[in-house]
Amino acid sequence: MTCDPSVPTTVETIPTPGNRCLHHSLCWGVVLAGTIAALGIHLLLTVLGVGAGLAIFRPMTDTNPVATFSVGSAIVWSLFAIIALSFGGWVAGRFSGCPKSGLVHGVLVWSLTLIITLPLLALGTGLALGRVMKIQGDGLGIGRQAVVFAGRDVATTAAKRSHDQLCSFVEEAVQSIPTNAAPKAGIRAQREVGFAVAKLFAPGNTAAFQANRMEAINALIVYTEMSAADATTTIDAWTTSHKNLQAELDKIKAEAEQKAKATVGQAAHHLSCAARWSFFALLIGLLGAALGGRCGAKCALRNADLQRVPVTPV
């Protein structure tokens, strides 16, 4: 049986963009598939970067990850993330089923990838955003630790040196006791002179300094049998020595505070740079995923156009 040539042939075609539904429902399956593809490609590129020596940035092991975060490291990590997100967006757009929604599916791949990446930060498998976020947090922690440690060290040093100085004052006074004094005289002198010296050089004792000074002089006269002149000279010498020590400690404290402020300022600078870099990296990643989804949808449309098959009735 032959076909009548006068009978027109009919062509079965796949609907063109003009007669497709403009508001196609979202396909979460392809979004998930694109996200998995993006994560897989990023992990693959990360392994390649580590093997090639490009991953010099180690936020999980470095004590100060901000110091090791260079422009080259940022470019490498961001490039890996952009390539992975673009490929994931392309996969989602390719199988979205509607060329009009390819861009939207690419954007959803970008969003879902970032959401999934956050729990993976503890395993060190995050995308570039995760690396930058860890840098920001560590930078702030380093700044806070610098201030706390600086103040703690200065306070500990000042307390120890002041205590040692007061002990040396009391020891000097006890050694002035005559050798023929009673055995308990040394213990009594150490107790009473130590109390007077501690009261004289107590912090915030400016108003009662003169009264405490006279009390300390009397303690030396009574318990160490010094003359009034020697006791006055000794107290004046101790006062000068104590003032010199306090001036030195104040200088050390000022230097420590200045160093801590410099550390905090440096951490804040790196934090600001990381924040700006993360914004532009995320923006480029969003554009890459969206364009990848659009290109994937166009690729699907071209394949559909090529599958037009002419059908002739028998």
pLDDT in tens, 204-227: 878 888 999 999 999 888 888 888
250 and 290 inside one domain: no
Sequence letter at residue 230: D
183 part of a folded domain:
yes
Q: Are residues 62 and 155 in the same domain?
A: no
Report if residue 152 sits inside a domain. Answer: yes
End-to-end CA distance of the chain: 8
Name the residue among 277, 285, 300, 275 with its Cα closest to residue 38.
285
The reply to whether 195 and 252 lie within a common domain is yes
Residue 283: the pLDDT is 86
| pLDDT given at position 18 | 46
pLDDT, mean of residues 240-247? 90
Q: How many other C-beta atoms lie within 10 A of the C-beta of residue 99? A: 21
What is the rounded distance in angstroms from the CA atom of residue 221 to the CA atom of residue 170? 13
Same domain, 84 and 31: yes
H-type alpha helices, the chain: 28-52, 71-94, 102-117, 128-174, 183-200, 209-224, 228-306
Q: Are residues 233 and 210 in the same domain?
A: yes
Residue 169 lies in a domain: yes
Which of 153-162, 163-172, 201-210, 226-235 has the weakest average pLDDT? 153-162
Q: Does 53 fall in a domain?
A: yes
Residue 310 belongs to a domain: no
Number of folded domains that form the chain: 2
pTM: 0.51
Confidence of residue 296 (pLDDT cuts 50, 70, 90): confident
pLDDT at 241: 92
Local confidence band at 157 (pLDDT 50, 70, 90 cut-offs): confident
Same domain, 108 and 61: yes
**Domain encompassing residue 40:** 27-143+281-305
pLDDT for residue 258: 84
Residues 132 and 235 in one domain: no
Helix (H) or strand (E) holding 311: strand 309-311
Residue 240 has pLDDT above 90, yes or no: yes
39 and 80 in a single domain? The answer is yes
pLDDT at 118: 64
Quickly state the pLDDT bin for 237 (edges 50, 70, 90): very high
The answer to whether residue 76 sits within a structural domain is yes
d(CA 210, CA 27): 86
Mean pLDDT, to the nearest integer, of 26-44? 88
Tell me: do 163 and 241 sit in the same domain: yes
pLDDT for 133 beyond 60: no
On the question of pLDDT at 14 being above 70, the answer is no
Question: Does a structural domain hold residue 111?
Answer: yes
Is the pLDDT at 275 greater than 90? The verdict is no
How confident is residue 124, by pLDDT bands cut at 50, 70 and 90?
very low
**Distance separating alpha carbons of residues 286 and 110, to the nearest angstrom:** 6
Instruction: Note whether 138 and 200 are same-domain residues.
Output: no
Could you give the CA distance from residue 110 to residue 282 in angstroms, rounded to a whole number? 9
| Residue 15 belongs to a domain | no
Average pLDDT of the segment spanning 240-265: 85
At which residue do the structure tokens 């009264």 appear? 211
Judge contact between 84 and 39, C-beta under 8 A: yes
Q: Which token pair is 32?
A: 């998930």
Most confident region among 85-94, 120-129, 255-264 by mean pLDDT = 85-94
User: Is residue 172's pLDDT more than 70?
Assistant: yes
How confident is the model over 241-268, as a mean pLDDT? 83
| 253 and 163 within one domain | yes
Section 270-282 average pLDDT: 76
Residues 212 and 298 in one domain: no
Query: Bigger pLDDT: 267 or 245?
Result: 245
